[in-house]
């Protein structure tokens, strides 16, 4: 019998953002009698010891408690890289997702690719032990072009030394795979503050028009990769990447996706090719239950304070960045952010 009451998808019909975020993972769906697919997500998305501490093998209960600090990274590894192995891929997208103990909102901090930091020496590769751009840490931890575990572990060691944070989970996305997720979702709506012509070779000299427009996977990825059109270069790109994550989450949790088991199935398959995760031993259903209250509008985007060095690399500004890192790792962001509004990443497009 038909019901006039609005049908609501239950909590397990939500799509969970753990990537970076990238980074959308499908938690599962139950609609009109279809079977839950959370187990398939766990099977489809590869798990690895990305943080280098083997905690994913440690048994614990399914209840996720306390604050979460999640390392998110986007690699430029793509299929063509295997044909031209002149150097290992780097991570131009690095984010720190902090979820307070309340699990009802989150803070997303971008780490600039050009930030000059000490990179620890890696005995496996013989690289490191010097200060350079943070995006080199991933490449310097890889014993081969396919060694994403070594790359993430070295990136984690670098950021732990920089911030003092103990990351509880991690996710790595490759851009070729992420494009497939966007394609399965039917594109995404993104906004820019002024018209500009792209420098990305994959889309030629495409002109992105001022305002909000719906883009297919190729154009959306080109827009997220763009940095030369921004007045503040990589910081403008960070704002676009943060906007991209929120808009992907909105698109993924729309009725057109949640109520279509076939589409959910395809998105899961695409996610399995795009993502590698370290969930600290938890199953996806554990995280979905814990983070079900977080929405795109409850995620605050942040950027570090920075200044430019003579070699054009970036450096931290103290004491403000040290205070920011301390607030993130001690779960004190709700008090810190209102007193430092300049660190909130306002603007949705090209900025100044």
pLDDT band at 285 (very low <50, low <70, confident <90, very high): low
Chain centroid to CA 86: 26
The pLDDT of residue 57 is above 60: no
Max CA distance (Å), the chain: 72
Q: Report the mean per-residue pLDDT for the chain.
A: 77
Q: What six digits make up the tokens of 4?
A: 């006039």
25: how many CB neighbours lie within 10 A of its CB?
29
300: how many CB neighbours lie within 10 A of its CB?
18
Instruction: Report pTM.
Output: 0.79
- Tell me what percent of the residues of the chain surpass a pLDDT of 90: 34
CA dihedral 292, 257, 298, 224 (to 10 degrees): 130
> Quick one: fold of 11-343?
Aminopeptidase (3.40.630)
Degrees, nearest 5: CA angle 95-99-105: 110
For position 229, what pLDDT does the model report?
Answer: 75
Stretch (H or E) spanning 61: none
Question: Pairing state of beta strands 207-208 and 24-26?
Answer: unpaired
For position 90, what pLDDT does the model report?
Answer: 75
Please tell me the distance from the alpha carbon of residue 263 to that of residue 4, in angstroms, as a whole number.
26
Q: How far is CA 141 from CA 147, 236, 276, in A?
A: 8, 28, 16
Please tell me the distance from the alpha carbon of residue 162 to that of residue 165, in angstroms, as a whole number.
8
Please tell me the distance from the alpha carbon of residue 246 to that of residue 348, in angstroms, as a whole number.
11
For position 23, what pLDDT does the model report?
Answer: 35
Q: How far is CA 342 from CA 116, 301, 302, 325, in A?
A: 22, 11, 9, 15
* pLDDT tens, residue by residue, 147-203: 989 999 999 999 999 999 989 999 888 766 677 888 888 888 999 888 888 887 777
Please tell me the distance from the alpha carbon of residue 135 to that of residue 116, in angstroms, as a whole number.
9
SS (H, E, C) 221-278: HHHHHCCCCCCCCHHHHHHHHHHHHHHHHHHHCCHHHHCCHHHHHHHHHHHHHHEEEE
pLDDT band at 46 (very low <50, low <70, confident <90, very high): confident
For position 79, what pLDDT does the model report?
Answer: 53
* pLDDT tens, residue by residue, 241-282: 778 877 877 777 665 665 666 776 677 777 777 788 898 888
Q: What six digits make up the tokens of 152?
A: 């993430």
């Amino acid at each position: 019998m038909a019901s006039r009451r609005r049908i609501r998808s239950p909590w397990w019909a939500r799509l969970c953002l753990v990537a970076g975020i990238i980074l959308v993972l499908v938690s599962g769906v139950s609609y009109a009698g279809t079977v839950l697919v959370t187990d398939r997500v766990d099977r489809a998305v590869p798990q690895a010891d990305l943080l280098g501490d083997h905690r994913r093998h440690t048994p614990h209960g399914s209840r996720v408690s306390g604050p979460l600090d999640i390392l998110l990274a986007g690699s430029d590894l793509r299929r063509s890289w295997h044909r031209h192995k002149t150097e290992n891929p780097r991570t131009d997208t690095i984010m720190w997702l902090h979820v307070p103990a309340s699990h009802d909102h989150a803070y997303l901090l971008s780490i600039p690719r050009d930030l000059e930091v000490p990179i620890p020496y890696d005995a496996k590769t013989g690289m490191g032990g010097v200060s350079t751009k943070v995006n080199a840490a991933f490449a310097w931890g890889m014993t081969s072009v396919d060694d994403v575990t070594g790359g993430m572990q070295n990136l984690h060691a670098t950021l732990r030394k920089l911030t003092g944070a103990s990351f509880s989970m991690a996710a790595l996305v490759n851009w070729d795979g992420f494009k497939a997720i966007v394609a399965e979702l039917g594109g995404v709506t993104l906004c820019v503050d002024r018209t500009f012509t792209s420098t990305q070779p994959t889309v030629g000299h495409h002109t992105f028009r001022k305002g909000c427009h719906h883009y297919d996977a190729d154009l959306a990825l080109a827009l997220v990769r763009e940095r030369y059109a921004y007045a503040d270069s990589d910081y403008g790109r960070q704002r676009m990447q943060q906007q991209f994550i929120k808009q992907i989450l909105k698109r993924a949790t729309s009725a057109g996706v949640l109520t279509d088991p076939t589409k959910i199935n395809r998105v899961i398959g695409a996610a399995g090719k795009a993502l590698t995760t370290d969930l600290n031993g938890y199953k996806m259903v554990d995280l979905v239950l814990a983070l079900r209250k977080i929405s795109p509008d409850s995620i605050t985007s942040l950027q570090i304070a920075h200044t430019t060095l003579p070699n054009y690399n970036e450096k931290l500004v103290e004491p403000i960045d040290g205070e920011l890192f301390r607030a993130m790792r001690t779960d004190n962001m709700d008090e810190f952010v209102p007193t430092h509004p300049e660190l909130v990443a306002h603007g949705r497009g090209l900025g100044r």
